[in-house]
């Protein structure tokens, strides 16, 4: 029993972009459970449920101390009936029965294994499962036609499911910087994604490339990719062309979250340091790397949009739309009331336009 005095009543803002969420999580027992259910919902294409669990998990991540009793959660936003039931189960029994049965389920296990292949999403995995394919062995013998990405993903499955370290991200950063310097002097490379938020590991490495002179970045991606390819750094690459400027009515209001920068999805061949060499004597490993090129005029929006976390980004856009009548994307901020774009050269300016306190990357780990 805890006395009233011991019950800390937390006061927490309802949008994740109003909160400071560091990597220091005092409630990982609860957030792990909620995140697993979020992931399971996403794998089953139940996006609404996924977001609800993500919001609940993010709320728990932002609490300053460990929760030990349901009474401490009174009045907190973002906690739906279902999430509260899961939390109660964990607090009372140490585990959530729903999480445990999900983890054990044949379908969840198969979805995890199959979507662990680069290039395979929830829809493809679901189709394969309906055809009786539950693991890599069955997939390999199924005669399914795989696209180029999926073939590469299957070939490098173990490497790509091994977390990337910060040291590896930095090593790749040096290679990308060298490539960019060689093809266009003055170009800049920024590490974004989870590593910019201070994470020590990640599932991939995200880079944003720009040039201080507007327009100079045009045509940069193919040159960078060719440089990397000719030196044997790429095991796979697929570049998608920028479609932003191609839309007939110019840089129109950001209609969707789909981002229209020139982007390269790649698999890097990273030579290991001596100490990382394994028993197999393989001297390199495969690493997922995303390269994005942005014109300098959109760079601040691009950096903000690619730093994450995914939920933080989603909440920023929801805040912009619902609270400020603005549309935020990785390209621009449009004020629907004034009917104009708001220019920015730094993330700080964007937060200011949105009427939000500035949250540094290390506190965007929602």
Active site positions, annotated: 204, 206, 290
- Give yes or no for residue 159 binding ligand DGT (CB under 6 A): no
Name which of ligand DGT, Mg ion, none residue 309 binds, using a CB cut-off of 5 to 8 Å depending on partner kind: ligand DGT
In the bound complex, what is the minimum distance in angstroms from residue 189's beta carbon to Mg ion? 15
Query: Interaction with Mg ion in 24-83: which residues (CB under 5 A)?
Result: none
E strand or H helix at 54, and its extent? helix 47-61
- Give yes or no for residue 39 binding ligand DGT (CB under 6 A): no
Residue 264's CB is within 10 A of a number of other CB atoms, namely: 21
Burial of 48 (0-12, 13-18, 19+ CB in 10 A): exposed
Distance CA(22)–CA(366), nearest Å, equals 8
Q: Residue 163 or residue 212: which is nearer to Mg ion going by CB?
A: 163
End-to-end Cα, the chain, rounded Å? 31
Q: Residue 194 or residue 295: which is nearer to ligand DGT going by CB?
A: 194
Name which of Mg ion, ligand DGT, none residue 330 binds, using a CB cut-off of 5 to 8 Å depending on partner kind: ligand DGT
DSSP 289: E
Binding-site residue total for ligand DGT (CB under 6 A)?
15
Distance CA(220)–CA(209), nearest Å, equals 9
In the bound complex, what is the minimum distance in angstroms from residue 85's beta carbon to ligand DGT? 28
SS3 at position 177: helix
Q: Which stretch binds ligand DGT (CB under 6 A): 118-126, 165-173, 214-222, 303-311?
A: 303-311
Name which of Mg ion, ligand DGT, none residue 217 binds, using a CB cut-off of 5 to 8 Å depending on partner kind: none
Distance CA(344)–CA(152), nearest Å, equals 39
* Cβ-proximal residue to Mg ion, closest one: 193
- Give yes or no for residue 306 binding ligand DGT (CB under 6 A): yes
Q: Which of 254, 295, 305, 361 binds ligand DGT (CB under 6 A)?
A: 305
SS3 at position 240: strand
Q: Which stretch binds Mg ion (CB under 5 A): 161-169, 187-195, 208-216, 266-274?
A: 187-195
Residue 42's CB is within 10 A of a number of other CB atoms, namely: 18
Query: Interaction with Mg ion in 189-218: which residues (CB under 5 A)?
Result: 193-194, 202, 204, 206
Q: Residue 151 or residue 203: which is nearer to ligand DGT going by CB?
A: 203
- Phi, psi for 100 (deg, rounded to 5): -60, -45
In the bound complex, what is the minimum distance in angstroms from residue 169's beta carbon to ligand DGT? 10
Strands (E), 106-171: 164-165
- Residue 260: C-alpha distances to residues 263, 318, 346 (Å): 8, 20, 20
Instruction: State how beta strands 234-240 and 164-165 pair.
Output: unpaired
- Give yes or no for residue 119 binding Mg ion (CB under 5 A): no
- Give yes or no for residue 118 binding ligand DGT (CB under 6 A): no
Distance CA(163)–CA(50), nearest Å, equals 23
Distance CA(311)–CA(317), nearest Å, equals 10
In the bound complex, what is the minimum distance in angstroms from residue 128's beta carbon to Mg ion? 25
SS3 at position 224: helix
- Give yes or no for residue 193 binding ligand DGT (CB under 6 A): yes
Query: Interaction with ligand DGT in 242-271: which residues (CB under 6 A)?
Result: 259
Distance CA(266)–CA(144), nearest Å, equals 23
Q: Which of 313, 317, 332, 347 binds ligand DGT (CB under 6 A)?
A: 313
Q: Which of 194, 254, 295, 361 binds ligand DGT (CB under 6 A)?
A: 194
- Phi, psi for 308 (deg, rounded to 5): 75, -160
In the bound complex, what is the minimum distance in angstroms from residue 106's beta carbon to ligand DGT? 26
Here the tokens at position 190 are 């920024």
In the bound complex, what is the minimum distance in angstroms from residue 202's beta carbon to Mg ion? 5
Give the residues lining the site for Mg ion (CB under 5 A). 193-194, 202, 204, 206
Give the residues lining the site for ligand DGT (CB under 6 A). 193-194, 199, 202-204, 206, 259, 305-306, 308-310, 313, 330
């Amino acid at each position: 029993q805890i006395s009233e005095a011991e019950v800390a009543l937390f006061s927490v803002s309802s949008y994740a972009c109003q909160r400071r969420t560091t990597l220091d999580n005092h409630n990982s027992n609860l957030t792990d459970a909620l995140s697993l259910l979020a992931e399971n919902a996403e794998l089953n294409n139940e996006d609404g449920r996924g977001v609800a669990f993500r919001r609940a998990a993010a709320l728990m991540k932002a609490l300053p101390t460990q929760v030990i009793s349901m009474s401490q959660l009174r009045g907190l936003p973002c906690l739906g009936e279902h999430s509260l039931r899961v939390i109660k189960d964990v607090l009372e029994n140490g585990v959530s029965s729903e999480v445990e049965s999900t983890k054990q389920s044949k379908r969840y296990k198969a979805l995890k294994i199959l979507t662990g292949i680069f290039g395979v999403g929830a829809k493809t995995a679901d189709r394969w499962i309906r055809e009786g394919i539950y693991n890599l062995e069955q997939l390999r013998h199924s005669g399914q036609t795989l696209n180029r990405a999926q073939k590469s993903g299957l070939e490098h499955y173990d490497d790509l499911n091994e977390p990337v370290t910060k040291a590896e991200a930095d090593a790749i950063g040096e290679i990308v910087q060298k490539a960019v310097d060689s093809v266009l002097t003055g170009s800049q490379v920024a590490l974004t994604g989870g590593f910019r938020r201070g994470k020590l590991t990640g599932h991939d490495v995200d880079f944003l490339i720009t040039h201080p002179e507007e327009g100079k970045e045009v045509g940069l991606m193919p040159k960078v990719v060719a440089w990397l390819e000719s030196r044997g750094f790429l095991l796979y690459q697929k570049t998608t062309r920028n479609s932003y400027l191609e839309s007939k009515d110019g840089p129109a209001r950001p209609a969707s979250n789909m981002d229209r920068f020139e982007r390269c999805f790649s698999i890097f061949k990273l030579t290991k340091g001596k100490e990382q060499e394994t028993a197999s004597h393989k001297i390199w490993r495969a690493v997922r790397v995303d390269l994005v090129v942005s014109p300098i005029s959109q760079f601040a929006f691009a950096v903000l949009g690619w730093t994450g976390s995914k939920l933080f980004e989603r909440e920023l856009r929801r805040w912009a739309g619902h609270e400020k009548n603005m549309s935020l994307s990785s390209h621009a901020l449009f004020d629907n009331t004034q009917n104009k774009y708001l220019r920015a050269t730094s993330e700080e300016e964007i937060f200011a336009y949105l009427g939000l306190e500035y949250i540094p990357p290390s506190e965007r780990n929602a």
